[in-house]
Amino acid sequence: MVASIHPLIDNGLVKGDPNFAGGTLYCHCPSDQVVIALTSNIAHNHACGCSKCWKPRGALFSIVGVIPRNNVSVQANESKLIIIDPSAVIQRHACRDCGVHLFGRIEQPHAFHGLDFVHAELSDQKGWQEPQFAGFVSSIIEQGFDPKGMDGVRAKFKSVGLDTYDALSPPLMDLLATFAAQKAGVKFANL
Ligand SMILES: N[C@@H](CCC(=O)N[C@@H](CS)C(=O)NCC(=O)O)C(=O)O
Ligand SMILES: [Zn+2]
Ligand SMILES: [Zn+2]
């Protein structure tokens, strides 16, 4: 039995509603919360084991999805937002008081430019897309997880129907590689 992967994975997935139209995210402060409005559902929702994505207390993984940046707006307490690492590709905007990440944004040319990264668990509404895969799984070792436990972690994901990768899923890796090829002026062979 593995420690908590994430509360939204541990007891099996709850399917989202494909017609869900979005909702509101709140940081974890007891008062004066940062409030974010999302005007659509999220996509490519997934578990991320990397050290940079926000994880709830006790969880080995983050759950993070993307949404067009035009569908994201700060409704309250914007002054509490700080950028965790301005030199990172993803500028993670976090509440300076409770540490929760409200949205991550890419400002440089990138395959995922125009998409913000958000944690739908910060909303009380139901219907957000359920996780689709687990990425950066081996990265939890870098944060102190015993490598001997990795088979158990991957087996747990498999048991809830999720494939595991050590970077992103094949379609997303293909998007990143396509962007890199185009940037380098590579011509695709017409095979
Ligand atoms: N093994 C590294 C992986 C970090 C990483 O590459 N994270 C991915 C998934 S979120 C990424 O795209 N990072 C870009 C960024 O953080 O700006 C870690 O755990 O810190
Ligand atoms: Zn807060
Ligand atoms: Zn991550």
Q: Going residue by residue through the chain, which has 191 residues, state the pLDDT in tens, using 9 for 90 and above.
A: 678 999 999 999 999 999 999 999 999 999 999 999 999 999 999 999 999 999 999 999 999 999 999 999 999 999 999 999 999 999 999 999 999 999 999 999 999 999 999 999 999 999 999 999 999 999 999 999 999 999 999 999 999 999 999 999 999 999 999 999 999 999 998 76
* Residue having the nearest C-alpha atom to atom 20 of ligand 1: 51
Q: Is residue 190 part of a domain?
A: no
Q: Is residue 1 part of a domain?
A: no
Q: Is residue 119 part of a domain?
A: yes
DSSP conformation class of 66: E
pTM listed for this prediction: 0.97
CATH of the domain at 175: 3.90.1590.10
| Whole-number CA gyration radius for the chain | 17
Residue 48 a catalytic site member: yes
DSSP class per residue in 126-153: S-PPPP-EEES-THHHHTT--GGGHHHH
The number of distinct structural domains making up the chain is 1
71 is in an annotated binding site: no
Please list the alpha-helical segments (H only) found in the chain: 7-10, 139-142, 150-159, 170-183
- Residue range of the domain that includes 102: 7-183
Q: How far apart are CA 23 and CA 38, in angstroms?
A: 5
Counting ligands in written order, the one closest to the CA of 167 is 1
